[in-house]
Amino acid sequence: MKRRSRPTALAAFAAAALLALTACSGSEDGADADGKTTLTFLSWTGEEQMEQVIDAFEEAHPEIAVETSYSPPVAEYIQALQTRVLSGTAPDVFLIAAENKTNLIDGEHVVDISGEDFVENVAPFNLETYGRDGAYYGLSLSSWAAGYLYNKELLAEVGYDAVPETWDEFLEMCAKLQDAGITPFLESVDQMPTTISAWIGAKNDGMDPSLDDQIFSGESTFAEQWMPELEEYNRVFEEGLMSPDVVGLDGDQVRDEFANERVAVINGGPWYIGALREANPDLDFEFSLVPAVDGGTPFAAGAASPGYAINSKADEDKQEAAKTFLRWLATPEAVELFQSLTNDVTVTSDFEPPVDPAFEPMVPSIREGKLYLPMIAWQRAEDVLNVEAVAQIQRMIRGEIEPEQVAEALDTKLAAS
């Protein structure tokens, strides 16, 4: 009898093993332990930096323990958070970003923090970026900006000490550089071009209702609002001052050309500084705002960094603990610690972040919120429009379509979304 049951027993063992394997989902009840409230947190910032911030918080607030998990930005973070939101296991605190803000706000997954005292010292631009109709859903403590980086020595060879303030003058400088045998300008266009973002931002600055309010309400169109800027941008290719081959380059390749002093001006942000200093310690460079078009002012592309958000499905105690965490994150001590670990340009009124001297021309724009990034400013179908815009601008650069068709493609995409 025992012998006969042996294969069956083995099969049962196999089935049990399978059940054990398939039942390996961990429990994450966040229950209080030793009188502490345990807060779950999905960090956007890497473990090396965030661990020190969390340690400092737990030291300041021993009644709260933070259970941190990490997921690298951007796509992986968005996917990880989305999966957890859908399965009802979202952390108590997470980051709201350009890529998920519409879905998180529409789905009422985030708590409105507009009435909290810890938002008072944060730049309105950052709060409004992750807000809607007067409500704020993310505590964004820093911003990033992108503009032009220029090689001072190469510009000096043609008599310039900085990037000119207008586009016409900039193109004139590019022509002089080209005549001197220097590649004047390279801009990576694997993302929305910095130049176009900055120009649309400059145009939008001070508009009421905003440029995007007009487009997304149907009052205006991309064709109306974007056409002059697209035409101006196309000039740099039509006049042969930038190679259409930029459509085959990514940001790192453009940066490497600049590091090797093979190009005078490129687009970029503070994330290039470390790599440039390491690759070429003798390189003398500085940032500048994007030259203005159409009587406007020089402007920067950029956006508020993702904001800390509180899970609306968390229970009351957790939400209170989460607010304590956010309140502490906005203190000058925490901001200083975070800034020293990440080098982000923070935007709280009670702490002045130190920055690399080359990046200083960009800091006022960041602190004043004079930044614009279409993907963040757009009110729906952000990524759909961004993918379409990048692809159509690349086609325009290759000469396959006219600027008008780029704008029309965006209007068509918006209408279909």
Partner 1 sequence: MTTLSTRPTAGLRTSGTRAWLSRPSGGWRQSAANKAFLLPAIAVFVFLFIIPLGQTLWWSFTDFTGYSPEAAFVGLANYRVIVTDPSMLAGLAFTLLFGVGTTLLITLLAIPLAVQLNKAFRGRNLVRSIWFFPAIPSMAILGLVWRYILSPLESGALNTVLGKVGLGPVSWLSDPTLARLSVILVGVWAATGWHAVLYTAYLQSIPQEYYEVARIDGATPRQQFFGITLPLLTPAIVISTFLLMTGGLKVFDLPYTLTTGGPGFSTYTITQSIVVSGVGQGRYGLASALAVMFTLAVAALSFGQLWLTRLVEKRFA
Which residues in this chain contact partner 1 in the complex, by CB under 8 A? 3-4, 7-8, 10-12, 14-15, 17-18, 22, 75, 78-79, 82, 85-86, 99-100, 102-104, 106-107, 109, 190, 243-250, 253, 257, 260, 262, 381, 383-384, 387-388, 390-392, 394-395, 397-398, 400, 416
Q: How far is the CB of 109 from partner 1 (least distance, A)?
A: 7
Q: How far is the CB of 230 from partner 1 (least distance, A)?
A: 15
| CB-nearer residue toward partner 1: 89 or 342 | 89
Q: What does the alpha-carbon distance between residue 87 and residue 353 come to, in Å, rounded to a whole number? A: 39
Q: How far is the CB of 18 from partner 1 (least distance, A)?
A: 4
Pick from 35, 92, 40, 30: nearest CA to 63: 35
Q: What does the alpha-carbon distance between residue 393 and residue 192 come to, in Å, rounded to a whole number? A: 8
| CB-nearer residue toward partner 1: 6 or 33 | 6
Alpha helices in 107-221 (DSSP H): 124-129, 152-157, 167-179, 194-204, 211-216
| CB-nearer residue toward partner 1: 245 or 333 | 245
Pick from 40, 18, 56, 90: nearest CA to 321: 40
| CB-nearer residue toward partner 1: 50 or 189 | 189
Q: What does the alpha-carbon distance between residue 417 and residue 413 come to, in Å, rounded to a whole number? A: 6
| CB-nearer residue toward partner 1: 217 or 417 | 417
| CB-nearer residue toward partner 1: 358 or 396 | 396
Q: How far is the CB of 73 from partner 1 (least distance, A)?
A: 13
Pick from 245, 167, 393: nearest CA to 263: 245
Token pair belonging to 267: 């687009």
Residue that is written with structure tokens 């069956």 in the block: 8
Q: How far is the CB of 3 from partner 1 (least distance, A)?
A: 5
Q: What does the alpha-carbon distance between residue 76 and residue 63 come to, in Å, rounded to a whole number? A: 31
Q: How far is the CB of 185 from partner 1 (least distance, A)?
A: 13
| CB-nearer residue toward partner 1: 12 or 60 | 12
Q: How far is the CB of 101 from partner 1 (least distance, A)?
A: 11
Residue 209: asked if its preceding bond is cis (omega within 30°), the reply is yes
- Tally of CA atoms within 13 A in the half-sphere of 52 that contains its CB: 13
